[in-house]
Amino acid sequence: EYNTSATPDDLLDIYIDDIEIYEVRVVGDNANLPKLCEIYKEDFKVGVALMDFELKDERRVNLITTQFNSITMGNEMKPENILDYKTCSSDVKKYMTEPALNFSKLDLGMKFAKEHQLSMRGHTLLWHQQTPRWFFTKNYSRDPNAPLASKEIMTKRLESYMKQVLTYCNTNYPGIIYAWDVVNEAINVEDGIKGGYRSKDSYWYQIFGSEYIELAFTYARKYAEEGVSLFYNDYNCFEKSKLFAICTMAEDLVKKGILDGIGMQSHIKMDYPSMTDYEYAIKKYASLGVEVQITELDIDLAGNSLEDLTKLGTRYKKLFSLYQSLKETKQANITSVTVWGLSDDYSWLNGDKRKYPLFFDDNLLPKAAFYGACLDESIPLY
């Protein structure tokens, strides 16, 4: 209760310290924003990579479903989330050539896509990362020194894995996946191998040499739903030596009718690559006669001053103008452009340093980057 008769002499001094002042922003519902998937509906799908928790967050779901018509799961459809160690190791003989799989994580994204009528980029069937070492050992062993399985065994495991995953998707979610990253990041010219193949950190290469790539595409074609495009996907694929190695590898697969597209991940920087080199790469891949998809676009921006953010908007505007003009002038059959994350706070680029690479900020408010991608007049092109 207040003592209303108190005089100043009756009162205690109170010191307040450690005051922090935060900017409070009114969070809108983003309902009146221009819609990326509308803007580019005649050109290509516009997608976003997601993490599982985002599928249950109402504000995120609203934004995802109004802005995008394609999604990619950032992690949930990778081998480490599908291979079932417990079951495989419980009866090694039984599962020797037909690994046990668990689709509960894959289901999360697939159900979400189905419920919201979104298309899905399947990411990824074969990758040297996020595939546990035990899968490559003869006895599904977690012992780091356990010997690797033979090529014969791994060929069967590869076919079985592809068959099970693709059949599961075709049966339970027909028509949802329109593209699969069949093989991810198999070229790494720095390893010094003829053909530019990744070898040092790839058990696939160590067991097969480069043969596994064609095998993977062959099995993918055999079991994938009709009409699904099969992609080779890689980063820094605008760097000339990598670009040429990918083209040489891809040419052969295209001739064999088992590769339909090149996925250019496009984790890029503010000043690298140059627009000229990037455009050259898109055209070069397109000249193979395949689809091109921009599969993991983000721009590594470290600052968040108004100037930085505006420059990011400009870079995005240049990119989306390029994609649209290459598509509309039929210089490249770009069929999908996916940004690698919805909001800055959950970007994979955040490590020791905070980064600001995406279209939406931590409050899910649109940044200049978003308006740049919309080709909005407010964003300078130069």
Residue of the chain from 74, 261, 357, 366 that contacts ligand G3I (CB under 6 A): 74
In this structure, how many other beta carbons lie within 10 angstroms of the beta carbon of residue 341?
A: 25
Annotated catalytic, 296?
A: yes
What mask of x and - would describe binding to ligand G3I in positions 283 to 312, judged by CB under 6 A? -------------x----------------
Element (H, E) at 335: strand 334-339
Q: What is the closest distance, in whole angstroms, from the C-beta atom of residue 125 to ligand G3I in the complex?
A: 12
Q: What is the closest distance, in whole angstroms, from the C-beta atom of residue 234 to ligand G3I in the complex?
A: 8
Number of alpha helices (DSSP H) and beta strands (DSSP E) in the chain:
12, 9
End-to-end CA distance of the chain: 63
Judged by beta carbon, residue 235 or residue 238, the one nearer ligand G3I is: 235
Contact between 129 and ligand G3I per CB under 6 A = yes
Judged by beta carbon, residue 237 or residue 379, the one nearer ligand G3I is: 237
Residues near ligand G3I (CB under 6 A), total:
9
Contact between 260 and ligand G3I per CB under 6 A = no
Judged by beta carbon, residue 69 or residue 124, the one nearer ligand G3I is: 124
Dmax (CA) of the chain: 94
What mask of x and - would describe binding to ligand G3I in positions 96 to 125, judged by CB under 6 A? ------------------------------
Which residue in the block uniquely carries the two structure tokens 């597209």? 261
Contact between 265 and ligand G3I per CB under 6 A = yes
Contact between 76 and ligand G3I per CB under 6 A = no
Q: How far apart are CA 286 and CA 335, in angstroms?
A: 11
**Active-site hit among 80, 190, 296, 307:** 296
Q: CA 343, 346, 350, 354 torsion: positive or negative?
A: positive
User: What phi and psi, each to the nearest 5 degrees, are found at residue 193?
Assistant: -95, 145
Contact between 130 and ligand G3I per CB under 6 A = yes
Which residue in the block uniquely carries the two structure tokens 């010094």? 192
Contact between 137 and ligand G3I per CB under 6 A = no
Contact between 75 and ligand G3I per CB under 6 A = yes
Residues 318-347 that bind ligand G3I (CB under 6 A): none
User: What phi and psi, each to the nearest 5 degrees, are found at residue 364?
Assistant: 65, 25
Look up residue 131 and give its DSSP letter: S
Q: What is the closest distance, in whole angstroms, from the C-beta atom of residue 266 to ligand G3I in the complex?
A: 10
Q: How far apart are CA 213 and CA 197, in angstroms?
A: 10
Q: CA 292, 295, 296, 297 torsion: positive or negative?
A: positive
Q: How far apart are CA 234 and CA 246, in angstroms?
A: 9
List of residues contacting ligand G3I (CB under 6 A): 74-75, 129-130, 184, 235, 265, 296, 348
Instruction: Catalogue the active-site residues.
Output: 296
